[in-house]
């Protein structure tokens, strides 16, 4: 089967697949968007068994690789609450041998899994450490787990996993900890990624009071001598501090520049492919197309599903240069603006 490269109606290639392997989580973060899952909030451990098996993910990985996807990010919920997570990573690596495979985790269970994940082919791990203060960490996550997360980080470094610290900035809780987090990242020789809150699922409940604009932090970094470069994915600004520490910014809220650089689709834990974390209409149901089918047929069906979800991709926020206004689509419908033709390069 010939490899295909998918490009959406706005000229954006499809290169990245974000996979939520579970809706369950051992944390209860106050801003959790649960990857845009319409269920709305993470579920307690043991209440919602996984719907896709490691074998299902092997089919997804092989199909995705054939259409030019080279980056796989495993998320949740909390991916490490799945006792077969090592098998999932192994199967993705087997059928996506040259791809970048990473995971976002709260780190609570990482101390146990770090070596096993590295051994089966995980490249990188994003560990959510929103505060270095135990009390603040608890207020944000609902769990007294800072020590566990830090132990998981050290174990990941021990086994040569590339580590990035995720810190979602919450007004009134950790917005004054940025310098401390940068110093910690510098000491550990890892990247710090600062994330702006999004009004999605739990993040929408107190968004106006909890949202802290990352632009305020960017100004501070520049004053402290940082140099800025751009990352291709989402056009994310990356600040290089004078000591070489990297601080990456994820600014998706009301940001057409961010949307213009989106190169991903999402696979929710129930097997639904969606084009965007903000998507509110039905996605593309993948599971019935691949389950109990000969592998060759399942892969073809999965490719067709990726092609279908690619036709739904469009920036959530656009900027109209004629009216100097942001245009945000809140209901999942296509934006009615001039756009490029859909392209499929076979």
Span 232-273, pLDDT tens digits: 899 999 999 999 999 999 999 989 999 999 999 999 999 999
Question: pLDDT for 29-50, tens place per residue?
Answer: 999 999 999 999 999 999 999 9
Burial of residue 330 (number of CB atoms within 10 Å: 0-12, 13-18, 19+) = exposed
| 324 has a pLDDT exceeding 90 | no
Answer yes or no: is 29 a known binding residue.
yes
User: pTM of the predicted model, to two decimals?
Assistant: 0.92
Answer yes or no: is 259 a known binding residue.
yes
pLDDT at 329: 65
Answer yes or no: is 204 a known binding residue.
no
Please tell me the distance from the alpha carbon of residue 175 to that of residue 260, in angstroms, as a whole number.
27
Please tell me the distance from the alpha carbon of residue 286 to that of residue 171, in angstroms, as a whole number.
38
Answer yes or no: is 44 a known binding residue.
no
As a whole-number percent, the residues of the chain with pLDDT over 90 amount to 87
Please measure the distance between the N-terminal and C-terminal CA atoms of the chain and give it in whole angstroms.
10
Q: What are the backbone angles phi and psi of residue 140, rounded to the nearest 5°? A: -80, -40
Cα 326–chain centre separation: 24
Cis status of the peptide bond prior to 77, with omega within 30 of 0: yes
Please tell me the distance from the alpha carbon of residue 208 to that of residue 186, in angstroms, as a whole number.
31
Mean pLDDT of all residues belonging to the chain: 92
Answer yes or no: is 262 a known binding residue.
yes
Answer yes or no: is 190 a known binding residue.
no
Answer yes or no: is 266 a known binding residue.
yes
Answer yes or no: is 104 a known binding residue.
yes
Q: Supply 256's token pair.
A: 């057409």
| 80 has a pLDDT exceeding 60 | yes
Q: Supply 258's token pair.
A: 């961010």
pLDDT at 205: 87
Q: What are the backbone angles phi and psi of residue 163, rounded to the nearest 5°? A: -115, 140
Answer yes or no: is 4 a known binding residue.
no
Cα 71–chain centre separation: 11
Question: pLDDT for 84-99, tens place per residue?
Answer: 999 999 999 999 999 9
Read out DSSP for 150-214? HHHHHHHHHTT-EEEEEEEEBTTTTTT-HHHHHHHHHHHT-EEEEEE--SSGGGGTTHHHHB--H
Which of 3.30.70.270, 3.20.20.70, 3.40.50.2300, 1.10.10.10 would CATH assign to domain 5-345?
3.20.20.70
| 10 has a pLDDT exceeding 50 | yes
**Which stretches of the chain are DSSP H helices?**
54-66, 85-95, 110-119, 134-141, 146-158, 178-188, 207-210, 214-223, 256-260, 287-290, 295-310
Element (H or E) spanning 320, and its range? Answer: strand 317-320
> Is the Cβ–Cβ distance between 85 and 21 less than 8 Å?
yes
pLDDT at 340: 39
Element (H or E) spanning 101, and its range? Answer: strand 100-105
Burial 200-224 (b: 16+ CB within 10 A, else e): bbbbeeebeebbbebeebbeebeee
Q: Supply 22's token pair.
A: 């579970």
Answer yes or no: is 21 a known binding residue.
no
Burial 275-301 (b: 16+ CB within 10 A, else e): bbbbbeeebbebeebbbeeeeeebbbb
pLDDT at 5: 85
| 344 has a pLDDT exceeding 50 | no
How is residue 256 annotated by DSSP?
A: H
């Amino acid at each position: 089967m010939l490899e295909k490269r998918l490009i959406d109606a706005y000229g954006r290639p499809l290169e990245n697949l974000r996979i939520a392997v579970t809706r369950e989580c051992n944390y209860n973060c106050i801003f959790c968007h649960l990857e845009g899952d319409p269920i709305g909030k993470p579920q307690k451990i043991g209440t919602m068994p996984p719907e896709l098996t490691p074998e299902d993910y092997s089919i997804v990985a092989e199909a995705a690789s054939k259409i030019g996807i080279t980056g796989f990010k495993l998320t949740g919920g909390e991916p490490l609450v799945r006792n077969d997570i090592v098998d999932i990573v192994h199967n993705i690596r087997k059928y996506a041998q040259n791809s970048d495979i990473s995971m976002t985790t709260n780190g609570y269970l990482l101390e146990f899994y770090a070596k096993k994940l590295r051994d089966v082919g995980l490249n990188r791990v994003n560990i959510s450490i929103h505060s270095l203060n135990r009390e603040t960490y608890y207020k944000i996550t609902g769990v007294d787990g800072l020590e566990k997360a830090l132990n998981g980080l050290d174990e990941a470094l021990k086994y040569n996993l590339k580590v990035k610290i995720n810190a979602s900035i919450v007004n009134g809780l950790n917005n004054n900890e940025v310098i401390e987090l940068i110093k910690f990242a510098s000491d550990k020789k890892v990247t710090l990624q600062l994330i702006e809150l999004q009004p999605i699922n739990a993040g929408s409940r107190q968004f106006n009071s909890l949202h802290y604009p990352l632009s305020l932090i960017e100004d501070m970094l520049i004053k402290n001598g940082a140099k800025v470069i751009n990352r291709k994915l989402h056009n994310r600004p990356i600040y290089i501090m004078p000591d070489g520490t990297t601080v990456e910014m994820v600014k998706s809220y009301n940001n057409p520049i961010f949307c213009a650089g989106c190169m991903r689709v999402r696979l929710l834990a129930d097997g639904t492919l969606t084009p965007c974390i903000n998507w509110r209409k039905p996605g593309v149901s993948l599971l019935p197309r691949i389950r109990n089918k000969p592998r060759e047929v399942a892969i073809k069906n999965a490719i067709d599903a990726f092609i279908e979800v690619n036709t739904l991709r469009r920036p959530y926020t656009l900027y109209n240069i004629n009216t100097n206004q942001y245009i945000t689509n809140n209901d999942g419908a296509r934006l009615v603006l001039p756009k490029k033709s859909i392209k499929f390069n076979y």
